[in-house]
Structure 1
């Protein structure tokens, strides 16, 4: 049980900041979910297992951060439509050529670069809100990888923001 009940409220305010963040063309493909309690322990254990099984570094370290957190906000993109700008930033010259054709080893893709920027802005807005409320936080790619594999959120790409209120920031000296 978190030391401060307000941490759940802070996660909700972070979700509001992510939801209301600017999006290309005013179209919203952002998915949000708050994790607390026993789910954090399950996620932490799954992160350590994934790191061992895949041979990828720091999943155990980030899993330990999740275990010691009061809450985690998952922020993802689901079925994000193309931005319609024909800018080529995604790697193809025209939006009509961009097809979401595969589920990669960790995320689905390809995805319009501008929709990925929407995700980044939503993550930044949520992290900013946590910081404004003095909740220690860190945006983590590894949380999203394992949350997606566990089915904690139905999204094509996910990142997580754990939050904690302790005497020393648990996300700083890692």
Structure 2
């Protein structure tokens, strides 16, 4: 198969992973996830470049560069984020507040330049985890190479590729050997 055919297959797989994310279980059965599939090479290159530019400012420069290289060479990218900071109403205390009402009243939302906004309801954060697990399962069934990544989500969020406070990414592709595993962080 040609390189273009492999790219087309990866885009189709990415769309199916997005479907798996959408149907994943969510706290209280309420969906507050934003899901975006990035298919075009120009946007993937823009995200990778933003990661490279941010790397020297981070505390983990080598890892930002390593992940940027993955994104520069990926065929498609699925992003999942929490688009609204809605509370589940369980009063579980995992957020550090005794009740959801206390959190809603007292929390101070903050955002990092190349990171996330928060704090958030832990149940909503678990929703992101369930969506990622469901997508990873689908990736395995489709035999598409993938890896859950945090840094790409932060970069996509900073660039406005996805409107969400907390974002994770799942780059995908069909390769002779996965580019997402056996990775080495760049030496400084």
Answer yes or no: same fold by TM over 0.5.
yes
* Contact 1:102–1:108, Cα closer than 8 Å, also in 2: yes
> Partners in 1 of 2:93 and 2:35 — Cα distance?
28
TM-score (norm 1): 0.95
Task: Give runs of aligned pairs for residues 53-72 of structure 1, distance below 5 A.
Answer: 53-57=57-61, 58-72=63-77
TM-score (norm 2): 0.88
Residue 127 (str. 1) matches residue 131 (str. 2): no
Aligned position for 1:7: 10
> Partners in 2 of 1:8 and 1:86 — Cα distance?
40
> Partners in 1 of 2:56 and 2:94 — Cα distance?
34
> Partners in 2 of 1:75 and 1:127 — Cα distance?
12
Deviations 1:33-87 (A, max 9, x none): 0112211111111111111233433111001001111000000001131111111
Aligned position for 2:84: 79
Evaluate the alpha carbon distance shift between residue 40 and residue 2 of structure 1 in structure 2; reply closer, same or farther with a 3 A threshold. farther
* Contact 1:98–1:110, Cα closer than 8 Å, also in 2: no
Task: Give runs of aligned pairs for residues 141-160 of structure 1, distance below 5 A.
Answer: 141-160=150-169
Residue 91 (str. 1) matches residue 96 (str. 2): yes
**RMSD, aligned CA:** 1.3
> Partners in 2 of 1:55 and 1:24 — Cα distance?
33
Residue 101 (str. 1) matches residue 108 (str. 2): yes
Query: Structure 1: any 5+ residue segments left out of the alignment?
Result: none
Query: Structure 2: any 5+ residue segments left out of the alignment?
Result: 184-188
Higher helix share: 2
In the TM superposition, what is the alpha-carbon distance from 1:7 to its structure 2 partner? 1.1
In the TM superposition, what is the alpha-carbon distance from 1:147 to its structure 2 partner? 0.8
Aligned position for 2:186: none
Q: Which runs of 4+ in 1 moved over 3 A?
A: none
